[in-house]
Amino acid sequence: MIKVKLLDYTPEPERVVAMAARLCYSASGAEELSERLDDNKVREMVRKMVRIGHGSTLEHASFTFGIEGVSRVLTHQLVRHRIASYDQQSQRYVAAHGFQYITPPSIAEKPAAKARYEALMEEIRAVYDELTEMGVPKEDARYVLANATETKILVTMNARSLMHFFNLRCCNRAQWEIREMAYKMLAEVKKVAPTLFFNAGASCVNTGRCPEGEMTCGRLQEMLKLREKD
Ligand SMILES: Cc1cc2nc3c(=O)[nH]c(=O)nc-3n(C[C@H](O)[C@H](O)[C@H](O)COP(=O)(O)OP(=O)(O)OC[C@H]3O[C@@H](n4cnc5c(N)ncnc54)[C@H](O)[C@@H]3O)c2cc1C
């Protein structure tokens, strides 16, 4: 099962965004930025920054997630998002004897496919063990490991980059595994910064329109029901 834990984040992320906005749009000096900035004013300013797309103000709030129970397929997709920082469990230093693996639902639901898949994973485990017993270093034995191999990764993104990530990866066109993880990340950040991530999610939920053209999932009306009223 995919585990997503919000490990750390900028203290008072929405207040920081509001302070950045205030610096831009008022004559306030640095020391006055948080003065007269009550919770209502913070919400109002954050909402405005998100609505008008003043994305640089969102970059001052960062969120760090610990992620487990995901495949190397997922992490390969995740690390394509360049505006982020990552650390991933090493297959050079951490032995993969008896490695765990992710089974896609489309395989799990077909008994014959599942049996074939599990037999292959057993075979890979055996070959990995044999290679390391022959003195092959872990960093080379790992070449036999499957994309399905379970891994752990730590990721930090700022709010602007996260919004973009949610646009792409909460979309029904994203693969099921990274989409499931993206929704868990979204649920975590909404708990601590609900105004900042108001209507964050797939592009259609975020903006009210689908950018996928002929590749659309065709479920726009259903997705639009997820939009919160402004
Ligand atoms: C449904 C789906 C299918 C995909 N299929 C494929 C595939 O078949 N093959 C494949 O290789 N990838 C594929 N990808 C990955 C995709 O191409 C991106 O690499 C990935 O989604 C990261 O997005 P990004 O580059 O926008 O994000 P980030 O790397 O976080 O960048 C964020 C934004 O910063 C700007 N930016 C970052 N770097 C640069 C730069 N060097 N120059 C200019 N602007 C920059 C861009 O505006 C970019 O959108 C797929 C992604 C999705 C969601």
Helix (H) or strand (E) run with residue 184 in it: helix 176-192
Region of 204 on the Ramachandran plot (φ > 0 left; ψ -120 to 50 alpha; else beta): alpha
Taking the C-alpha atoms of residue 196 and residue 162, their distance in angstroms, rounded to an integer, is: 11
CA-closest residue to ligand 1 atom 33: 83
Crossing angle between the packed helical segments 13-25 and 39-52, to the nearest 10 degrees = 70
**How far apart, in whole angstroms, are the C-alpha atoms of residue 115 and residue 143?**
23
In this predicted model, what pLDDT tens digit does every residue of 84-102 receive, in sequence order? Answer: 999 999 999 999 999 999 9
- The active-site residue, picked from 15, 72, 142, 169, is 169
CA distances from 213 to 24, 169, 176, 220 (A): 36, 17, 20, 11
Asked whether 164 lines ligand 1 (CB < 6 A), one says yes
CA distance 158 to 5: 16
**Which residue lies with its CA nearest to atom 6 of ligand 1?**
77
Give the mean pLDDT of the chain: 96
Q: Is 174 in the pocket of ligand 1 (CB under 6 A)?
A: yes
Instruction: Tell which atom from ligand 1 comes closest to the C-alpha of 84.
Output: 30
**Distance from Cα 168 to the centre of ligand 1, integer Å:** 9
Stretch 104-131: mean pLDDT: 98
The C-alpha R_g of the chain, in whole angstroms, comes to: 22
- Give 114-125 pLDDT, tens digit per residue: 999 999 999 999
Rounded to the nearest angstrom, the gap between the alpha carbon of residue 128 and the centroid of all alpha carbons in its chain is 30
Distances from the Cα of 69 to the Cα of 30, 63, 66, angstroms: 43, 20, 10
Pocket test for ligand 1, best of 168, 177, 178, 216 (most atoms within 8 A of CB): 168
At 3-37, the pLDDT tens digits run: 999 999 999 999 999 999 999 988 888 888 888 78
Q: Judge contact between 202 and 166, C-beta under 8 A.
A: yes
- Kindly report the protein residue whose alpha carbon is nearest to atom 16 of ligand 1: 80
HSE at residue 53, side-chain half, CA atoms within 13 A, is 3
DSSP annotation of 173 reads T
Question: Cα of 83 to ligand 1 centre, how many Å?
Answer: 10
> Is residue 112 very low, low, confident or very high in pLDDT (cuts 50, 70, 90)?
very high
Kindly report the three-state secondary structure assignment for every residue of 135-159: CCCHHHHHHHCCCCEEEEEEEEEEH
pLDDT digits (tens, 9 = 90+) for 38-69: 999 999 999 999 999 999 999 999 999 999 99
> Residue 230: pLDDT above 80?
no
Specify whether 160 is catalytic. no
Residue 82 beta carbon below 6 angstroms from any ligand 1 atom: yes
Supply 171's token pair: 């979309």
Give the contacts of 77 (CB within 8 A, at least 6 positions apart): 169, 175, 178
Q: Which of 59, 76, 80 to mutate to test the pocket of ligand 1 (most atoms within 8 A of CB)?
A: 80
Which ligand 1 atom is nearest residue 173's CA?
1
Do residues 114 and 103 lie in contact, with contact meaning Cβ atoms separated by under 8 Å?
yes
